[in-house]
Each structure stands twice: as structure tokens, then as C-alpha cells.
Amino acid sequence: MRNCFYYWGFAAWLAYYINHPLYTPPSYGQKQVNFALIMCLTCEAGNFSIHIALSNLRKDSKGSKTCKIPYPTKNPFTWLFYFVSCPNYTYELGTWIGFTIMTQCVPVGLFTLLCFIQLTVWAKDKHYTYLREFKDYPSLRMSIIPFLL
């Protein structure tokens, strides 16, 4: 229920601004939109790749109760696993940053900021669970932003 209100509420609010007759297009016009679109699509592909990698990991460990450390695979999108524990959240954040650049709109930026906070909370939680569970956990990994956070 709460999620529904949150997402539909934001969708309506953002749509109101983006489709308003007084909406001003991004400063750098079509170039900015194209750049942001590529960023969104790249991150979506990344998000999808991580989803597949995690789901394969779960498939492999079916039967045994122990969960495993996810590692990068042959798919370059999963190489973020070298640097962060939750690349799916990194990509999700990237998607929303792309959308913010595309629309160049303050409410969208606010939505992205709230996402960033929530995703960071989840990522840190997961990261510390990994650290607690695995003594040999890769030490280079951060929670969500490579080398930073």
C-alpha cells in the first residue's frame, strides 16, 4: 500500500511537471536527451545482467542453505561486482540520474535523491551482512558507489 502511494504519487507529480505547458526543455536540447537516454538504457541492461547473475547464483545454491558471494561473470555488466556489493542498486541509481539529466527537472532530482538514500540504506545493510558472513569477502568492495560509499 505504502509503496503504491509512493510510486504512483511520484509518477503523477513528476508527470505533471514534465508535461506542463511551461516545461522548459533541457539546456543542451536533443544532445542532452540522447546522452541521458543512452545512460538509462545502459544502466537498465546492467540492472538486468545483475538480476540474471543473482538468479543463477540462487539456482546453483539450491538445496544448500548457505548463500554465496556473487562474483563477476563473463558479462561485462557484472564486472561492477569487483567494486560494489550491490551493483543492481548502482545501476538503478544510474538510471534515475540519467532520467534526471534527461528531464532537467527539480522534482525528478528530488525523487532521485530519495532513491539514492533508500538504495544506500539497503546496500549498506546487505554489504554488512556479507562482511559478517564471509571472512574472505573481497576487501575492495564498497556498498553502492565504487571506492566511495
Angle between helices 87-103 and 2-18 (to 10 degrees): 30
Letter for the amino acid at 75? N
Q: Which residue has the cell 556498498?
A: 143
Contact status: 47 vs ligand NAG (CB under 6 A): yes
DSSP class of 85: S
Which of 42, 44, 124, 149 binds ligand NAG (CB under 6 A)? It is 44
- Site membership for ligand NAG, residue 49 (CB under 6 A): no
Q: Single out the residue of 148, 143, 149 nearest to residue 87, CA to CA.
A: 143
Angstrom distance (rounded) from CA 25 to CA 146: 32
Instruction: Mark the segment that binds ligand NAG (CB under 6 A) among 2-10, 27-35, 71-79, 81-89.
Output: 81-89
Binds ligand NAG (CB under 6 A): choice among 14, 18, 37, 54: 54
Query: Does residue 105 interact with ligand NAG by CB under 6 A?
Result: no
- 100 binds ligand NAG, rule: CB under 6 A: no
CB of 123 to ligand NAG, least distance (A): 8
What's the CA gap between 47 and 42, in Å, rounded? 9
Residues 6 or more apart whose Cβ sits within 8 Å of residue 114: none
Exactly one of 49, 88, 90, 104 binds ligand NAG (CB under 6 A); that residue is: 88
Binding site for ligand NAG (CB under 6 A): 44, 47, 51, 54, 86, 88-89, 92, 95, 126
